């Protein structure tokens, strides 16, 4: 059974001495085994390395079972699993499975770790874009954050219109994790098109101070340099 094999590998690799510090870093919201990221990923590869890519239904079952485990490392393994086999996923998977993971045991670490999977599916399947517009209107801040940040790291490859539309819908939002996401999304795009980001900021004086500060950080730094 996959879950049993992963637990065996993680427990074998765990350093219980660092588990309390890992939990404190996440404000003691989750228990940890004490497995650092590189060690966890190596352990996961030992289990998944030779497996053929499963279908979306199997991936959904595995990821939900991993998510149900108490220790935080299992949620990280689920994120690694989804990123590894994201080519089997489509917009229905985002709506039915990824959304359920985002809103369960939610904190910035798991939500942001799911971002590469969301980005990959949206980039590959135009129909998945509609899910981003649904999430941006959600009352759940983590779905909003996921929509705002789904193009992060694409920079010049991002869809500018979509990026600005999503950011505009939460320009004045002062909730920390949402405002930070607005700023990060704009800042990332400013690497490739600083003039467009400056124009967006000028057109949206209602931007929260945090979002504005993050959006202009690279532009201001380059000006000073």
Q: Per residue in 156-174, pLDDT tens?
A: 999 999 999 999 999 999 9
Domain boundaries, the chain: 1-133, 151-225
Residue 124 CB: number of other CB atoms within 10 A?
A: 13
Q: Confidence class of residue 224 from pLDDT cuts 50, 70 and 90? A: low
pLDDT of residue 225 exceeding 70? no
Which residue has tokens 């959904």? 60
- Tell me the average pLDDT across 188-207: 98
Over residues 79-106, the pLDDT tens digits come to 999 999 999 999 999 999 999 999 999 9
**Average pLDDT of span 15-43:** 97
State the pTM of this model.
0.95
Torsion angle of the four alpha carbons 83, 218, 200, 168, in this order, in degrees rounded to the nearest 10: 40
**Would you place residue 52 in the very low, low, confident or very high pLDDT band (cuts 50, 70, 90)?**
confident
pLDDT confidence bin for 132, thresholds 50/70/90: very high
Matching CATH number, 151-225, of 2.40.50.140, 1.10.630.10, 1.10.420.10, 1.25.40.290: 1.25.40.290
Compute the average pLDDT of residues 104-121: 98
Element (H, E) at 141: helix 141-148
The arithmetic mean of pLDDT across residues 18-33, rounded, is: 98
CATH code reported for the domain at 1-133: 1.25.10.90
Rounded to whole angstroms, the Cα distance separating 160 from 147 reads 14
Banded model confidence at residue 51, pLDDT cuts 50, 70, 90:
confident
Instruction: Identify which of 41, 36, 33 has the alpha carbon closest to the alpha carbon of residue 70.
Output: 33
């Amino acid at each position: 059974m996959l879950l049993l094999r992963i637990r065996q590998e993680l427990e074998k690799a765990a350093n219980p001495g660092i588990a309390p510090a890992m939990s404190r870093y996440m404000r003691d919201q989750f228990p940890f085994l004490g497995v650092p990221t590189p060690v966890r990923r190596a352990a996961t590869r030992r289990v998944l390395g030779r497996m053929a890519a499963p279908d979306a239904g199997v991936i959904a079952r595995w990821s939900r079972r991993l998510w149900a485990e108490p220790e935080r490392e299992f949620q990280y393994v689920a994120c690694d699993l989804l990123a590894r086999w994201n080519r089997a996923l489509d917009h229905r998977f985002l709506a039915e499975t990824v959304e359920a993971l985002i809103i369960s045991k939610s904190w910035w670490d798991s939500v942001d770790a799911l971002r590469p999977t969301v980005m990959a599916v949206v980039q590959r399947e135009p129909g998945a874009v509609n899910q981003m517009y649904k999430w941006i209107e959600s009352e759940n801040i983590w779905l909003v954050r996921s929509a705002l940040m789904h193009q992060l790291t694409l920079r010049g490859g991002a869809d500018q219109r979509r990026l600005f539309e999503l950011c505009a819908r939460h320009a004045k939002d002062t909730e920390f994790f949402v405002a930070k996401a607005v700023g990060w999304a704009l800042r990332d795009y400013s690497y490739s098109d600083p003039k467009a980001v400056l124009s967006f900021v000028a057109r949206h004086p209602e931007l929260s101070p945090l979002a504005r500060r993050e959006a202009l950080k690279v532009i201001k730094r380059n000006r000073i340099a």
